Structure 1
C-alpha cells in the first residue's frame, strides 16, 4: 500500500511538472506572437507609423500611446535566426551579427491617449538587441557599432 501511494504521488508530481512545461511553452509562443505583432514588418515605411501602430493595436493597456516602437524590416524567420545561432550574447540578451533595416517610430508628444497617437518615423540600418527564449520575445534596442 505504501509503495502504491508513493507511485501515485510520483505520477501526480510528474503530471504537474509536465503541465507547467506546456504552460511555459504556450506563454513563450504568446510572447513570440506579441513580438511579431509589435516589431516585425518587412514592408514598413517611416511614413506609416501612425497607421501601423493603430492597426496592430500597440499601446500600454489600450489607454496610453507607446512612446517608441521599432519595426524590423525582415521576415519572422530571419529575425528568429538571431536566436538560433546568428546572434551573440550581449548583456543577458542577444545581439545580431548582421545589420537590419529598422523603422523607429517616436511619439510626437510626450504622452497621448490611444488610439490618437501620432509618431515621427525614421529608417535606420542597425544591429538589433533582442531577448531570446527559444524565439525572440522582447526588442531591447539597436546599436550601430560594437564596443571593444
Structure 2
C-alpha cells in the first residue's frame, strides 16, 4: 500500500519522497530544496543528516533505494543548510512502528549482503 508523504504522517513527510531520484545527477541539489520545502530541521537548526526512501512503503523484506542527505557544514544555520546527497541502492530498512503498525521512526538501513 502507498503512504502519502503529507503532514498527517510525520514519518512520511520526513523520510519518504519517491521523486528524489527522478534525475540521479540532481540528487545533491534536490536534498537542499526538499529538506527546505518539507521544513525538516533539528530544533530549528540544520539537521545533520536526513535519509529519504525513494519509494512508497512496502513489505519490510523489500530492498529500497535511499538518498542520504548529509549536511556539508556542521556550523551552518537555518535557512542556509546545504547537503551532499548520496544515492544508496539495495538497502533493507529498519523502521520503528507504533502500536497501530504505523511507522514513527527511521532507524537506519542494512546493506544487501553479497
Under TM normalisation by the shorter chain, which class is it?
A: 0.7 to 0.9
Per the TM alignment, residue 32 of structure 1 is displaced from its structure 2 partner at its CA by 6.6
Q: Which structure is higher in strand share?
A: 2
Pairwise CA distance, 1:61: 2.2
Between the aligned partners of 1:38 and 1:115, the Cα distance in structure 2 is: 17
Matches within 5 A, 1:85-96: 86=59, 96=60
Moved over 3 A (4+): none
What is the match of residue 97 of structure 1?
61
Number of corresponding residues: 98
C-alpha distance 74-97 of structure 1, shift in aligned 2 (>3 A) = same
Q: What residue is the counterpart of 1:113 in the other structure?
A: 77
Aligned equivalent of 1:72, options 48, 53, 68: 53
Q: Secondary structure at the match of 2:96?
A: strand
Residue from 132, 136, 142 that aligns with 2:97:
132
Q: 2:14 matched to which residue of 1?
A: 38
Gaps of 5+ in 2: 1-6, 22-26
**Greater helix fraction, Structure 1 or Structure 2:** 1
Normalising by structure 1, we get a TM-score of 0.61
TM-score (norm 2): 0.78
Supply the RMSD in Å over aligned alpha carbons: 1.7
